[in-house]
Amino acid sequence: MSSALSAPWFFWAVALAVGFPVVLVLLTEIHNALRRRGSLLARPVQLLRNYILPLGVLLLLLVQAIEVSGDATPVRIVSTVFCVVVLILLLSGLNATVFQGAPEGSWRKRIPSIFLDVARFALIAVGAALILAYIWGANVGGLFTALGVSSIVLGLALQNSVGQIISGLLVLFEQPFQLGDWIETSTVRGRVVEVNWRATHIDTGTGLQIMPNSALAAASFTNHSRPHGSHTFSVTTVFAVDDPRDDVCAMLNTVASRLPQLRPGGTPSSHAVGGLQYTTSIPVRSPADDFAAKVTFLRWVWYASRRAGLHLDEAEDEFETPERVSRSLAIIAPTLRLTQDEADALLPHARLARYGTDEYLQIVGDVPKRMMFIVNGRVRLEAATEDGGVVDVRTLEAGDFLGQTALTREPVTASARALSEVTVLHLGRERIEELVGRKPVLLQVIGRAIEDRRADISRAVTTAAN
C-alpha cells in the first residue's frame, strides 16, 4: 500500500479523478451563463469543455498515470488531436473576442475579410508546422523547401488568379477605401460591402457589382466618403430668362436648407451657370443620401417656384384662377365668419399656394406676415424637445389655419409639415386686421387658438420628456 502511495502515477491518477469532474462542472456552469446572455464566448467555452478538457485529461493519463512513452503512436495521435482542437479554439476565440464582438464603426468591424483569411492561414500554417516538428519529428525545413518549389510551379500556372490576390493585398495595404465607403469607377458607382482574395463587392443599389482587385489596382477611382463629412452633390435646374437671378438662388437655397438629408452644419449654395441653368450644391451626410435628396429637392422646388412666382423649366403656373380662389374662400368662410359680400371683397387680396408632401409651411421661430387657411390636405404641427427630438402636437385639416401670431407679431412655437399635397389660402396681416376690427368675435377665436396651441405644445413636450 505504501509503495502505491509513493508511486509517481498515484498522485496524477487521484488529481485527474478529482479535478476532471470539478473542472467539467465549472465549465458547464460558465457555458450556460454565457449562452443565457447570448455571449459570443459560449462556443469557445463549449469547445473547451467537450473536447480540449477530455483530450488533455486523456493525454495526462497516458503519459503521467500509465507512464506510456511520449514516442508511442497512441500518445502522438492523442497529442495531435489535442493540438488541432487547441488551434480551432484559438481561431474561434480570436474571431469571437476581436472581430465578432467589435462595436459598429470600429476598425475591427471595418477590417476586410481578406486580412482575416490571411491571419487564419498563417495561424494554421504555424500550428501545423509545430505539430509536425515536435510531435512527429518531421523535417519542417525540407517540407517548406518542397512547398516553395511547388508554389513557383503553381504560381506560373495560376498567375492571373495570384495576380488578382496580390493586387487585392496591395490595394488593401494602401487602404484607399474601407468597408462602407462609396467609390466610383469608370463603370460602377456604389458602396463597398466586401473585399476578398479576388474581388471587391460593390452594392450599386440595383445589384451587387463584382469588381476584380486587379482592375481597381490598375485604374483610378473616386472615393466619395473621403474625407469624412465633406460629401456634396449638385443639382441643375432651369428657369425662365426673365426670372430675377437672386430670387431664384434664394429660393433654391431655402428649399435645399430644409432637406432632411442635409448634413448638420452644412450650407447649400446656388449659382447661375449661364444660359437658363442654375446649379445648387447640397452637402449631405453620405453618398447614400444623394438620390433621395435629389428627388425631394426637385419635387419641393416645383412647388416653391410657383409660390415665388418663378418659372421652373420656363413653365407658366395656371393653378391660381379666380374661380379656384373663390371656391377656396367659400371653404374657409365659416372659419372667418364671412358673408358673401365680404368674401367677394377679399377675392383680389387672397392668394392660393401649394406645398408638397413633407414640406414645411412654417418653421419654429418664424414671424408670419400672413395667415394660412387650409383648403385641402393635412398638416401636422410639430414641436421640438429639449434633447433635440421632435414630437407631434396635432393634425390640421381643411378649414383650420396657421400663422395666427401674425396679428401679435410673435414667432411661432411649432413647425407645420405637410402630410400630403396641401393647398392653402394666404391672407395678409392687413386684411386680417380689418376683419377682426369689424368682428371682435373673430379676434377671440384667434386668441383662443393661440392659447390652445401653446397648451398643446407644452403638453406634448412634457409627455415626451416623461
* Domain boundaries defined on the chain: 2-157, 169-223, 232-307, 322-465
What does the alpha-carbon distance between residue 451 and residue 449 come to, in Å, rounded to a whole number?
5
Helix (H, G, I), strand (E, B) or coil at 424: strand
178, 186, 269, 192: which is closest to 228 by C-alpha? 178
Most confident of 59-63, 94-98, 440-444: 440-444
Residue 136 · residue 76 · CB < 8 Å: yes
For 132, the grid coordinates are: 509536425
Instruction: Give the pLDDT mean for 343-353.
Output: 91
Helix ranges restricted to H, 204-289: 213-218, 245-257
State the SS3 of 75-138. Answer: HHHHHHHHHHHHHHHHHHHHHHHHHHCCCCCCHHHHCCHHHHHHHHHHHHHHHHHHHHHHCCCC
With CA atoms as reference, report the closest residue to 240 among 294, 320, 317, 319: 317
Q: Report yes or no: 214 and 163 within 8 Å, Cβ to Cβ.
A: yes
Residue 423 corresponds to which amino acid? T
Minimum mean pLDDT range among 26-40, 134-148, 333-347: 134-148
- Please, are residues 202 and 224 in contact by the beta-carbon 8 Å criterion? no
Q: Collect contacts of 75-78 with beta carbons under 8 A, ≥24 apart.
A: 76/135, 76/136
- What's the CATH number of domain 322-465, 2.40.128.50, 1.10.260.40, 2.60.120.10, 3.30.930.10? 2.60.120.10
Q: Give me the chain's average pLDDT, please.
A: 83
SS3 255: helix
Q: Which residue has the higher pLDDT, 457 or 218?
A: 457
205-252 pLDDT, tens digit each = 888 988 887 788 777 888 888 777 778 999 999 999 999 999 999 999
Contact 135, 80 (CB under 8 A): yes
Give the dihedral sign, CA 109/115/119/124. positive
Beta bridge partners of 424: 353, 374
- Using pLDDT thresholds of 50, 70 and 90, give the confidence band for residue 271: very high
Burial of 35 from C-beta contacts in 10 A (0-12 / 13-18 / 19+): middle
Q: At CA 451, angle to CA 449 and CA 457, rounded to 5?
A: 100
Residue 1 is predicted with a pLDDT of 46
User: What is the pLDDT averaged over residues 421-429?
Assistant: 94
414 or 186: whose pLDDT is higher? 414
The CATH number of the domain covering residues in 169-223:
2.30.30.60
% the chain with pLDDT above 70: 84
Contact residues for 280 (Cβ-Cβ < 8 A; gap 6+): 234, 235, 236, 237, 252, 253, 256, 268, 269, 270, 297
Confidence of residue 87 (pLDDT cuts 50, 70, 90): confident
Closest of 411, 357, 407, 402 to residue 384, by C-alpha: 411
Specify the higher pLDDT residue, 84 or 367: 367
* Band (45; pLDDT cuts 50, 70, 90): confident
By mean pLDDT, which of 142-156, 165-179, 396-410, 449-463 is the weakest? Answer: 142-156
pLDDT in the model for residue 169: 66
Report the percent of the chain where pLDDT is more than 90. 30
**Which amino acid makes up residue 323?**
E
- pLDDT category at 103 given cuts 50, 70, 90 is low
CA distance 332 to 412: 22
C-beta separation of 226 from 217 below 8 A: no
Dist CA 436 CA 443 (whole Å): 5
User: What's the pLDDT at 131?
Assistant: 78
- Give CATH for domain 232-307: 3.30.70
Cα gap 287→229, rounded to integer Å: 10
Q: Is the peptide bond before 411 cis (omega within 30 degrees of 0)?
A: no
pLDDT at 72: 80
